[in-house]
């Protein structure tokens, strides 16, 4: 019989994975910080020594502290302010080719020994279900610390200052005639990670991620119609400098103006159109059709519980024409400001860059130390990640991005080559099948292109295609000046589900002859 992650977690969760987190309050923050700064090496030594003594061929321990903050406003009111954090460790062991895992919020040497013993027992219990033993590719021992590229820690900025900023955003959007409702928010994550492995690695990492957002809604009181325009800027691995350097006030004003424009925009006529897609929109199409389809565990049917498998198979590597010759997708755990950027993954593999699609041909996968041998690889690309110390680490998506053109091609250059088309900004509703092949995507704003010029706004637009048809229809890319790195805070996978943050860089891109439908007519 096969052994899925669902079955593994059903077994493991009964003993160790179903950890109840303590309720932390703000006045315990200093105490938790002191505990995290304590000698984590002694706790790690206790866990690793116990695992080795009880028969583990490999073991690792992650001791992590997470701090979260979220502020939400609507018009001139503060709707919510929340701050919380948690701290604990997870121990993973490999016994006779089978994984076991246990976790605890009691970060002490005694608790580490208990958790290691529980992980060993779980691995032995799981062995009865496993048909093929896990084999790990080697990784070099490393002892280091790393800090993300953020400049200003948002947790050192007062709540009052953040609220004042959000309310100013709201006032800016409300200043646009016709705008009736505005929501704005910001969320921050501070992740401090310590990893120790039986291979001898000891790694500390410190990351900050931020997710500001805005939504403006305009209402036609006569018809009852309403239209919303969300902010186009997306989450980044950045500190509070993201708030201070990006033109959020300009974004708020434009969001209000375009929400009003959408009320009187011309409905799209269904048919075939050339599309010019802005990075604020295209990144989500990349995420769903490229990022998820190149996850090796999905292709091998190890993952199907959350969002399905993949139309790609190992046999297609180096053979399938995934896109046109100008299409190059690379995975990268080192991109500055990338939400999936780290120095090392959760099994001490260094962050790196590699091609998934080269000159249009599908060439490689996202791998971990135990996935790589299954396709004949002798190294991991470092894609193991867990969203918490209490979560089982498993393959997660790196930053997956589309290379821009080498030439200085502008958005206007791409638009100039379109007789009948649409330019799309921002992410909207979407759907994609369980093999990441057939899809439909909407957006935030849609602009008609006639004879090489943008002539006005459209509405009720969505396009349909299949992954390989779509990327083979790409005939032009913008240059580096059009390249942006948007991302999402919440990429779900697994069961129980885990949430990963990931970015997808891309330039403006043009696609020929894509099927477009009218979503309003489709709904009716």
Do 257 and 273 belong together in one domain? Answer: no
User: Each residue of 477-491: pLDDT tens digit?
Assistant: 999 999 999 999 999
pLDDT at 257: 98
Q: Is residue 226 part of a domain?
A: yes
Task: Round to whole Å and give the CA distance between 429 and 444.
Answer: 9
DSSP state of 295: B
Give the residue-averaged pLDDT of 425-447: 97
> Do residues 273 and 239 both lie within one domain?
no
Q: Structure pTM?
A: 0.92
Instruction: State how far the Cα of 95 lies from the Cα of 59, in Å rounded to an integer.
Output: 9
Element (H, E) at 260: helix 248-263
Residue range 244-270: mean pLDDT, rounded: 97
Q: Is the pLDDT of residue 411 over 60?
A: yes
Q: What is the DSSP secondary-structure string of 397-444?
A: --EEEEPPPSS---HHHHHHT-SEEEEEES---EEE-TTS-EEEE--S
Position 33 scores a pLDDT of 59
Number of H helices, E strands in the chain: 12, 25
- What is residue 11's predicted lDDT score, i.e. its pLDDT? 38
- Tens-digit pLDDT profile for residues 58-101: 999 999 999 999 999 999 999 999 999 999 999 999 999 999 99
- What is the structure's pLDDT at 17? 33
In tens, the pLDDT along 33-54 reads: 566 666 899 999 999 999 999 9
The predicted structure's pLDDT at residue 358: 98
Q: pLDDT exceeding 70 applies to what percent of the chain?
A: 92
Q: What does the block give as tokens for 231?
A: 């902010």
Residue 34 confidence (pLDDT):
63
pLDDT digits (tens, 9 = 90+) for 178-216: 999 999 999 999 999 999 999 999 999 999 999 999 999
Q: What is the pLDDT of residue 523?
A: 57
pLDDT at 32: 59
User: Above 70 in pLDDT, residue 242?
Assistant: yes
Same structural domain, 129 and 189: no
- Do 491 and 421 belong to one domain? yes
Identify the three-state secondary structure at position 290: helix
Shared domain check, 361 and 507 = yes
So what's the pLDDT on residue 10? 39
Q: Is residue 73 part of a domain?
A: no
288 with 247, same domain: the answer is: no
Domain count within the chain: 3
Domain final position from 229, 264, 299:
264
pLDDT digits (tens, 9 = 90+) for 284-297: 999 999 999 999 99
Between the alpha carbon of residue 275 and those of residues 282, 374, 384, 405, 466, the distances in Å are 11, 39, 35, 17, 15
Residue 55: inside a domain: yes
Range of the domain at 126: 1-67+80-137
Residue 41 covered by a domain: yes
Of 118, 137, 156, which one is at a domain's C-terminal end? 137
Q: How far is CA 209 from CA 227, 487, 502, in A?
A: 30, 11, 10
pLDDT cut 90: percent of the chain above it: 88
Distance between CA atoms of residues 165 and 172, nearest Å = 11
Co-location of 301 and 200 in the same domain = no
Q: Which of 248, 264, 280 is the last residue of a domain?
A: 264
Q: Identify whether residues 252 and 316 lie together within a single domain.
A: no
Residue 438 in any domain: the answer is yes
The answer to whether residues 259 and 272 belong to one domain is no
Query: Within this chain, do residues 109 and 48 fall inside the same structural domain, yes or no?
Result: yes
- Is the pLDDT reported for residue 325 higher than 50? yes
| Any domain includes 75 | no
> For residue 152, what is the domain's CATH number?
3.30.2290.10
- Do both 180 and 103 map to the same domain? no
pLDDT score recorded for residue 2: 38
List the one residue out of 299, 290, 407 whose CA is nearest residue 357: 290
In a domain, residue 200? The reply is: yes
What six digits make up the tokens of 40? 């984590």
How much is the average pLDDT of 258-278?
A: 97
* Average pLDDT over the chain, rounded to an integer: 93
DSSP 27: G
Same domain, 116 and 162: no
pLDDT at residue 369 tops 90: yes
Residue 252 in domain: yes
pLDDT of residue 25: 37
């Amino acid at each position: 019989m096969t052994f899925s992650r669902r079955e593994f977690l059903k077994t493991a969760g009964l003993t160790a994975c179903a950890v109840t987190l303590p309720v932390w309050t703000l006045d315990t923050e200093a105490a938790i910080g002191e505990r995290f700064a304590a000698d984590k090496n002694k706790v790690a030594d206790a866990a690793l020594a116990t695992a080795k003594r009880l028969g583990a061929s490999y073991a690792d321990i992650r001791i992590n502290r997470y701090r979260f903050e979220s502020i939400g406003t609507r018009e001139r009111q503060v709707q919510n302010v929340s701050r919380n954090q948690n701290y604990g460790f997870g121990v993973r062991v490999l016994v006779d080719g089978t994984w076991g895992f246990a976790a605890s919020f009691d970060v002490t040497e005694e608790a580490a020994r208990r958790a290691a013993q529980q992980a060993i027992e779980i691995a032995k219990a799981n062995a009865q279900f496993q048909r093929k033993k896990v084999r790990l590719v080697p990784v070099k021992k490393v002892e280091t610390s790393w800090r993300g590229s953020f400049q200003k820690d948002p947790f050192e900025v007062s709540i009052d200052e953040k609220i004042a900023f959000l309310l100013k955003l709201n006032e800016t959007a409300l200043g646009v005639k016709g705008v009736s409702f505005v929501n704005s928010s910001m969320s921050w994550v501070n992740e401090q990670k310590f990893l120790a492995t039986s291979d001898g690695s000891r790694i500390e990492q410190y990351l900050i991620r931020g997710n500001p957002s805005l939504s403006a809604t305009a209402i036609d009181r006569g018809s009852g119609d309403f239209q919303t325009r969300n902010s186009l800027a997306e989450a980044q691995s950045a500190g509070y400098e993201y708030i201070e350097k990006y033109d959020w006030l300009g974004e708020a004003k434009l969001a209000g103006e375009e929400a009003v424009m959408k009320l009187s925009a011309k409905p799209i006529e269904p048919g075939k159109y050339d599309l010019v897609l802005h990075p604020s929109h295209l990144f989500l199409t990349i995420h769903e059709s490229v990022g998820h389809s190149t996850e090796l565990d999905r292709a091998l049917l190890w993952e199907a519980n959350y969002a399905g498998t993949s139309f790609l198979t190992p046999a297609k590597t180096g053979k399938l024409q995934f896109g046109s010759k100008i299409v190059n997708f690379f995975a990268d755990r080192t991109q500055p400001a990338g939400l999936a950027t780290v120095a090392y993954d959760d099994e001490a593999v260094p962050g790196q860059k590699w091609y998934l699609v080269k000159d249009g041909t599908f060439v490689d996968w996202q791998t971990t130390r135990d996935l790589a041998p299954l396709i004949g690889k002798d190294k991991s690309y470092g894609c193991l990640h867990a969203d918490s110390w209490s979560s089982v680490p498993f393959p997660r998506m790196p930053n997956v991005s589309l290379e821009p053109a080498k030439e200085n091609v502008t958005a206007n250059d791409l638009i100039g080559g379109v007789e009948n088309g649409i330019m799309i900004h921002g992410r909207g509703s979407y759907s994609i099948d369980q093999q990441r092949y057939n899809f439909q995507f909407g957006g935030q704003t849609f602009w008609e292109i006639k004879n090489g010029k943008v002539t006005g706004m459209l509405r009720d637009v969505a396009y349909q295609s299949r992954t390989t048809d779509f990327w083979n229809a790409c005939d032009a890319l913008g240059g580096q000046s059009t390249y942006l790195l948007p991302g999402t805070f919440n990429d779900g996978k697994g069961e129980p589900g885990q949430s990963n943050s990931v970015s997808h860089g891309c330039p403006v891109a043009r696609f020929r002859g894509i099927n477009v439908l009218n979503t309003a007519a489709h709904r009716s």
